[in-house]
Structure 1
Amino acid sequence: MIVIQAKLISLNQEDKQTVLDLMRRWSSCMRFAYNRLLEGEKRADLKRKLPQVFNLNSRYVDDAIMKARSTLESAKELGKSPRKVIFGGKKLFRKLQKHHLNGKAYEKLKIRWQEKRKGNLYSRGDKSKKGNLNTRIEVRKNGTFLRINVGERKYVYARIEAGYKKNKRREELLQEIAESNIPYSVELKLKNGNIYAYFAIEEKYPEIKITKEKGVIGIDINAYPDNISWTEVDEKGNLISYGNIPMPELVSGSKDKKEYFRWHYAHEIVKIAKEKGKAIVIEKLDIKEKGKKGDFSGRKSRRIRHNFSYKSLLSKIKTLAKREGIEVIEVDPSYTSIIGMLKYSPQYMITKDIAAAYVIARRGLGLQEKIPDNYMKFLNALTVEELEELKEYVKKTVRNKKLKKKHLKEIKKAIEFLQSLGSEPERVLKPLDGTSFSAHDFWRVLKVAVVTPLSPEKVPRDFSTLKGLLIQGKWRDP
């Protein structure tokens, strides 16, 4: 999606008020549609009755319903209550409720909130109508204009100011869009008394030329330390090279600064993939609001969302890769860190973050991770007494507040798993036969049994001590 921002100018006072009234009615229609969708009303019923209520044509109404549905679905995806959505911005609304400002400062804040609440209009593009019927770009001798349908076959023409003299490319691009008759969407927003237009068109990407045929680049983005870990693997899944890209600029700073550096780091990743001629494999994450749902929870989820907008960075990597004709593969991120730290970190003497990127790369090639035999033999050798001792050790650590309670649940599940296998000599060599546990559950068992005694307070970053157990099968050495 390509978005071009422009300012609407050369509007006389009467025309500006007409456009503002249209934006106010459209915003009211969108909020009304949102509340009716919450109550279970159908789109077709709303589209039939709302044009008369808000004096809007059917296209404007349909776009308002679409925006309302999008807001509703977004709230659900983020784990928010759809009934608590505040149009105009929750943050501004909470500030107004506090009444900590008086006079001009309070009025200025109130105007900002009202502009965000009432100063909106969205119009979708339509290929059959050669671009956009309600808000159309028109090129004239004296400049580029936006023709806005304000109702009853009446139009307001506003000149588009899309760039300064030294940067006229945006206005030239808008003229090219108008002359090509391709569909484009227009969104109007009121800010500080001025009306801004945002033109959006679907970007056409070149044909994919760099695929996973010659291997891939696996990407793991870490909240602590703030960096991108990457690994290069061949088509068979063998590790070739790896590296880390620190991202200190994304820890703090303004929104614009973080956005700039997100693009910067996305360019670095795509540059690596292009130079090596390999596809990119990334995690497909759905991080929920407040850390209550999703792939991560609590502090890690909040840090990822607030410090460097994890999903935004991944989205930029996908966009830039597509522009370069590089295939992007998204994989399930479940247990990539656990598998990496237990299997590949001690084997290759690499950090758990690099190891996680390696697992992601292999998963992108469709490879499965076999549990090492020596780990199976280690679990098979654990006696019931040792398991109970480990369980009591974890309980004591939890009481001392050195471990979170979730670790106690993990160790209980590990013990339940091993005890469910019976007492045959070869019980762990086929650990999943006849049980309700998945392969991922078994990796969790390994993490609890191996990592917890090694470092009870937190997951270590150095797993070199596991090399003897993994490679040589040494697990009785104190």
Structure 2
Amino acid sequence: MKTARILKIKKTPDTPIVALDALMREFCASRRYAFNRLLEGFTPNELNKAIPAMFKLNKRYAEDATMLAKAIISSQKELLPYQLEGVQGKISKTEQKLSDYESGRKTPQKVDLETCLKGLGRRLEKLRAREAYLTDCMEKGTIPKVIFGGRKNFYARMNGKLNSSEWKDIRSNELYSRGDKSKSGNLNIRIFYEDGRFFLEIADTIGKDAKAKHSPRIREELVIPDKFFEEIVDFVVPDKGYDMKAKKHVDVYKPYTVQILRKNGEYFVTLIMDEDVPGSEMEYGAQITSDLVAGIDVNIDRIAVSILSKNGNFRKSKVFYCHEMEYVSSNRRDNVAGETAKAVIDYLLSENVGAVVLEDIKIKQDHDTDNKFNRLTHSFAKTKIQNCLIRRALRNGFRVKKVNPAYTSVIGRFKYSKLYGLSVHEAASFAIGRRGLGFAEKVPRELIFALKGGVKKHLLKLIRSKEETKLSKERVRYIRKLIKTIDAFKEQHSWSVWNVVHKTLRYMDYEYTINF
């Protein structure tokens, strides 16, 4: 498991490290060069030879720059379908809002109707143009435009809010070096521990003399947070080993990767280490063998945990609240997520749980036009909490399994909430745990009766009176599809039936009401 620790070079903002700044400029320029050449069809091997000849960098720096450029391209290709899905989601929400305001079902609160409709119309035009652009990228096998330095800063530069020097500074603020076990942990950037202090030594290839065999070193002291001090000492200080061929004792280093980032005149060092953990992540089809299993439902303001036996029977549940995640800054969110994850894992350890099951969360970008709503519903904060849970679970020896989150909340609400007297989130965590154990959730008989009785009659009535209700053809087709699923529920996948339940029924005070 990869573990990152954020350190800092002991320097004041008004005293820049000139040699390091020059090296960062050279490295970032080589990365941009590698990125553009890869798009033109150059191979990584060709770039690894060309970059040292064009830039004042050694082969290792060149390989790192090429690797980062290649990673940007591959990540953009991987994210492209999600970006397109997100834009299509935004289009759907904007069209629905536009329809609601035009028909009079909703009334704008902050502006007049004409202004609201114009704004939504302009948003829709931009979204459709973005959709066409992303679709074209997918069809041609290309990637969207990448702006080194950030799109927000690029527009700030265009509008004159950033001068040329500031823009260049933003685009040239990073240095990266991969770890290597055979090169004292890292060839170009090394961390030393001497007399109770940490020092960073960086290979300065720009200041290298043509006749010298090795590059001079930029040496700076590091500031280490107290809570990471012993951990980093254990990792950086070499172990003692024995070389059988040379027949002598040698130092054995652990490989670590270092990224240096300059921000507001300060230099932040990210140390990336390989951490051995007793726990493990399970594959989708793997069978959980632990006697006690925990299903965990992660939300932005709370984490619901249900403990169940390996037979799928409910034991107990608990909710851990983290309401601060809704409104605090990003840095504070990291702390809240970590503290809440610690409380959850400590609770599971006290209950002798052996495995945990979580939802496989995908980050979505289908934002609405309401900023507050976007903040509460966006899955980035949920992903942050879940990652903290997974890392702490692995460190404490748990087996971790991710499952498809489809309809877990619906199943929990309609099937287990009343049965065990659970809240919606606790019931969802129980459904997640059962899915991790491999149980299929059939729709209860009373729900089938509700669908075949009240819901089906209501849907048929809507179709018969479509002229009065002004239903569109698409809406009528959708209703007929729901009726077909209800009629042939035995032949349908259970998720299809749960979808009908989700779309047509509402569960309040343990009572079913039609919500369509």
Asked if Structure 1 and Structure 2 have the same fold, meaning a TM-score greater than 0.5 normalized by the shorter chain, the answer is yes
SS at match of 2:51: helix
Unaligned runs of 5+ in 1: 293-297, 422-427, 433-437, 455-459, 470-474
Equivalent residue runs for 1:226-305 within 5 Å: 226-278=301-353, 279-291=355-367, 303-305=376-378
Contact 1:119 1:189 in 2 (8 A): yes
Match of 2:434 in 1: 362
Structure-1 separation of matches of 2:474 and 2:326: 28
Structure-2 separation of matches of 1:346 and 1:15: 63
Equivalent residue runs for 1:55-454 within 5 Å: 55-78=56-79, 79-80=82-83, 82-99=143-160, 101=161, 106=162, 113-140=167-194, 144-151=198-205, 153-163=214-224, 167=226, 170=229, 173-174=232-233, 176-180=235-239, 181-206=253-278, 213-223=290-300, 226-278=301-353, 279-291=355-367, 303-305=376-378, 309-380=381-452, 386-391=458-463, 411-418=479-486, 421=488, 428=489, 430-432=490-492, 438-449=493-504, 451=505, 454=506
Post-superposition shift, 1:380?
A: 4.7
Structure-2 separation of matches of 1:383 and 1:142: 72
Contact 2:235 2:254 in 1 (8 A): no
Structure-2 separation of matches of 1:235 and 1:302: 37
Contact 1:410 1:445 in 2 (8 A): no
SS at match of 2:187: coil
SS at match of 1:309: helix
Cα deviation 1:160-207 (Å, max 9, x = unaligned): 22248xx49638834751424100111112233343322221111135
Contact 1:274 1:326 in 2 (8 A): no
Contact 1:216 1:361 in 2 (8 A): yes
Unaligned runs of 5+ in 2: 84-133, 135-142, 209-213, 240-252, 282-287
Contact 1:229 1:357 in 2 (8 A): yes
Structure-2 separation of matches of 1:50 and 1:162: 33
Structure-2 separation of matches of 1:207 and 1:384: 49
SS at match of 2:203: strand
> TM-score under structure 1 normalisation?
0.76
Equivalent residue runs for 1:23-62 within 5 Å: 23-62=24-63
Contact 1:342 1:447 in 2 (8 A): no
Post-superposition shift, 1:412?
A: 3.9
Cα deviation 1:106-134 (Å, max 9, x = unaligned): 55xx6665433202110000123231111
Q: What is the identity, as a one-letter code, of the residue corresponding to 2:290?
A: E
Match of 2:19 in 1: 18
Contact 1:2 1:202 in 2 (8 A): yes
Match of 1:424 in 2: none
Match of 2:90 in 1: none
Structure-2 separation of matches of 1:406 and 1:115: 53
Post-superposition shift, 1:336?
A: 1.0
SS at match of 1:219: strand
Q: What is the identity, as a one-letter code, of the residue corresponding to 1:125?
A: G
Percentage identity across aligned positions? 29
Match of 2:112 in 1: none
Greater CA drift, 265-274 or 75-84: 75-84
CA 84–179 in structure 1, closer or farther in 2 if over 3 Å, else same? same
Cα deviation 1:28-54 (Å, max 9, x = unaligned): 121222233344543233323222222
- Aligned residue pairs: how many? 423
CA 262–398 in structure 1, closer or farther in 2 if over 3 Å, else same? farther
CA 37–174 in structure 1, closer or farther in 2 if over 3 Å, else same? farther
Q: Which runs of 4+ in 1 moved over 6 A?
A: 298-301, 392-400, 405-409
Structure-2 separation of matches of 1:94 and 1:47: 33
Contact 1:33 1:65 in 2 (8 A): yes
Contact 1:115 1:190 in 2 (8 A): no
Q: What is the identity, as a one-letter code, of the residue corresponding to 1:122?
A: Y
